[in-house]
Amino acid sequence: SMHSASACIDSTRQFHYKVWGLTVSEVLTTARFNSIARDLDCVELWCGVGAVWKAAAAQGHRSEGLHLKNGVAADILTKTGFLKALELTLRLATSGMLWMAPVCSS
């Protein structure tokens, strides 16, 4: 409900840490991020071969994966890569699945 969503957003205001200039509260309340369509059923970050998102896609689910091998835009340690990962995560449908498996050596 809108009331519970507002309560969740209000509770994020206590976290003042910023990543690439953004707080959690800013991400949840900024029009730039709120306008993103929730059109994905599965997102796999640091996907390597992409087994999870490809399996979901093979079952008819709208899926995408993000991995460093895809280029600089996929490097989460850069602002561009972080924003791409954030965008994909925000595109998840309410009942969607986010799979993250960063390599142990990182």
Question: Tens place of pLDDT for every residue, the chain, 106 residues?
Answer: 444 555 555 665 666 788 898 888 888 888 888 889 999 999 999 887 889 999 999 999 999 998 876 555 677 888 888 899 999 999 999 999 999 876 666 5
pLDDT at 93: 94
pLDDT at 3: 47
Residue type, 34: N
Q: Are 40 and 88 in contact (CB under 8 A)?
A: yes
Quick one: tokens of 105?
A: 């050596």
Beta bridge partners of residue 66, listed in sequence order: 45
pLDDT at 50: 87
Residue type, 71: G
DSSP 69: G
Beta bridge partners of residue 20, listed in sequence order: none
Quick one: tokens of 63?
A: 């899926």
Residue 87 CB: number of other CB atoms within 10 A? 14
pLDDT at 91: 95
